[in-house]
Chain A
Amino acid sequence: MSLINETSLLTARILRRWSSDAATVAQSLLFPAGFLVALNVVLGDGVKRVTGTSALYGSVPLVSLIGATSGAIIVAVGVMRERDDGLLARFWVVPSHRASGLLSRLLAEAVRIVVITSFVMCVGLLLGFRFNQGFPQAVAWLFMPTVFGVAFSAVVMTIALYAQNTLVPQATEVIAAVMFFFSTGFVPLDQFPKWLQPFVEHQPCSFVVEAMRGLSMGGPVLKPVLGTLLWSAGIAAIIAVPLAVGYRRASRRD
């Protein structure tokens, strides 16, 4: 019981901190919104000409993912700072569940990503994006970026726990950029060179985009959803131990 209480308490702490930082909130919401509009203006026409369907069914998911991944840096830098301030060490000596610190951060990430996805969805609806598949599918759509986004945040947090300061923000941007450029949310699969298509088709970002395309516009759902879940579970399995060890180490630093 104490784990649930403490986790929710610490999650609320992170979310309160996050929501009281007006600059961060504004930019985490305005950046994806501006990005979606810009992407639609630049590529909407060209993609529609090639595929015959609106580019929004790929770009709305893509921008939600970009919002999720580019915001991961906030939690990572937050952990680094609280480690340096000694707050993590302080929490470590409080009689609370050992897992609550880490779980609360991941839970806060999940909430953050759902909020961003909802906001991007609203902008998309204004631009002409529609749910054609029904309410349950729309709800599933809303949570797809969270599945992968939390796993991504866990990776960024792990890097932050081991690496030096300045590396993390830029490295995150680079990873996010690769996933953004080489995904089916940017341009259709057949626009990429032949040798690159297997990578584009099977990287996590494309799976999430295709799952969300299927859940909103229509099309295959099972395979991309499975792909998303497998990628996220695989990342979680690889990252779990280093993350826990790194967090423990950061908490016990004097």
Chain B
Amino acid sequence: MTVGAIPLSARPAPSTPQQWWTLTTRMIAPTLANGELATQIIGSIVFTVGFYLPLKNILGAVQPMSSYAQYLTPLIVVQAIFFAAVSAAFRSAIDALQGINRRFRAMPMAALTPLAARMTASIYRCVVALVVSLACGHVIGFRFHGPLWHTVGFIALTLLIGAALALVGDLIGAATRNPEATAPLLLVPQVTLGLASVGLQPVERFPGWIQPFVRDQPLSQFLNSMRALAGDSTPAAPPVTWSVIGPALAWVAGIVVVFTWLHARVAARRP
């Protein structure tokens, strides 16, 4: 027998769910104390009133739906889950920078458990973002008009989009290891895609050269699907058909596949 070897009976038997749960609470618990949750709530409120009040007159007149609140709220929801992805990126960059990921790899733990825990925490952030932004939307006049399963579909699709965005944010954090750059780095797609989408005004209102981009970019596809699932009191909302929902689901699936693959590559990199 080798001197110093730990007998099998004395070795701990680590359980993957247990490890996942421990790492998940490690991500979630601080958000209650350090103000992350509070800023997320305030951020959603700011984006709601910030888009709604100034633009209600100037753009409310040119959109087809019953009210500008009904038209705008999907964009507010998407911006809120984008915020959640920024948080995910920041946390992931700090973990990568401080070497805790490297430490995890030396532990008896499945390779994807830390990522799974970070993703669970991201879903938690998305749920918070969704609840807060829908509450904000409700205040300005947004309502669900479709049957119940449309509403359920709206929530499920939003969380799927949130998970995909969080995966992107997490990768950016882990790959750059630069917490100071993550928030501004994600601000670029958040703002430019947000403005150049059908979120604020219909595609016909854009100059001709940019219309194809505005119509086909992922954010517009997400917004179309969410508008369809939310419905409207007038028939102006897009119909719930595969040709409306399909592109959004395809974008989500594509993002998840590509970024999981990139994650595996970054995780395999020697620090």
- Picked from B62, B86, B201, the residue with its CB within 8 Å of the CB of A169 is B86
Contact between B181 and A46 (Cβ–Cβ < 8 Å)? no
- The answer for the CA separation of A169 and B34 in the assembled complex, in Å, is 12
- The answer for the CA separation of A218 and B192 in the assembled complex, in Å, is 29
Question: Looking across the interface, which residue of chain A has its beta carbon closest to that of B51?
Answer: A181
- The answer for the CA separation of A166 and B62 in the assembled complex, in Å, is 39
Counting CB contacts under 8 A, is A101 at the interface?
Answer: no
Question: Looking across the interface, which residue of chain B has its beta carbon closest to that of A67?
Answer: B184
Q: Answer whether A178 and B184 are a contact pair too, CB < 8 Å, given A38-B192, A171-B35.
A: no
Contact between B91 and A166 (Cβ–Cβ < 8 Å)? yes
A31-B184, A39-B195, A170-B86 are known; give 5 further A-B pairs, CB within 8 A. Answer: A23-B178, A81-B180, A166-B35, A167-B35, A196-B53
Stretch at the interface among B4-12, B40-48, B158-166, B239-247: B40-48
Min C-beta distance of B61 to chain A, whole Å: 9
Number of B residues whose C-beta is below 8 Å from A?
A: 48
Contact between B57 and A166 (Cβ–Cβ < 8 Å)? no
Min C-beta distance of A16 to chain B, whole Å: 16
Contact between A70 and B50 (Cβ–Cβ < 8 Å)? no
Counting CB contacts under 8 A, is B176 at the interface?
Answer: yes
- Picked from B36, B54, B87, the residue with its CB within 8 Å of the CB of A186 is B54
In the complex, chain A residues whose CB is within 8 Å of the CB of B86: 169-170, 173
Question: Looking across the interface, which residue of chain B has its beta carbon closest to that of A181?
Answer: B50
In the complex, chain B residues whose CB is within 8 Å of the CB of A182: 50, 53-54
Q: Is the interface of A mostly helix, strand, loop or mixed?
A: helix
Contact between A27 and B58 (Cβ–Cβ < 8 Å)? no
In the complex, chain A residues whose CB is within 8 Å of the CB of B205: 45
- Picked from A27, A171, A180, the residue with its CB within 8 Å of the CB of B181 is A27
Counting CB contacts under 8 A, is B59 at the interface?
Answer: yes
Q: Which 4 A-B pairs have the closest CB atoms?
A: A181-B50, A77-B180, A38-B195, A170-B39
Min C-beta distance of B250 to chain A, whole Å: 25
In the complex, chain B residues whose CB is within 8 Å of the CB of A27: 181, 184-185, 188
Min C-beta distance of A192 to chain B, whole Å: 6
Q: Answer whether A24 and B192 are a contact pair too, CB < 8 Å, given A171-B39, A181-B46.
A: no
The residue in A38, A81, A164, A166 that gathers the most chain B C-beta atoms within 10 A of its C-beta is: A166
Contact between A191 and B57 (Cβ–Cβ < 8 Å)? yes
In the complex, chain A residues whose CB is within 8 Å of the CB of B207: 41
Contacts of A138-195 to chain B: CB distance below 8 A? 163-167, 169-171, 173-174, 177-178, 180-182, 186-187, 191-193
- Offer 23 A-B interface pairs, CB within 8 angstroms, sorted by A: A24-B178, A24-B184, A30-B188, A31-B187, A38-B191, A39-B195, A41-B195, A46-B59, A73-B184, A74-B184, A163-B35, A165-B94, A166-B35, A169-B90, A170-B83, A171-B35, A173-B187, A177-B47, A178-B50, A182-B54, A186-B54, A191-B55, A193-B53
Counting CB contacts under 8 A, is A28 at the interface?
Answer: yes
Counting CB contacts under 8 A, is A34 at the interface?
Answer: yes
In the complex, chain B residues whose CB is within 8 Å of the CB of A78: 180
Contact between A187 and B46 (Cβ–Cβ < 8 Å)? no
Contact between B46 and A169 (Cβ–Cβ < 8 Å)? no
In the complex, chain A residues whose CB is within 8 Å of the CB of B136: none
Contacts of B188-212 to chain A: CB distance below 8 A? 188, 191-192, 195-196, 200-201, 205-207, 210
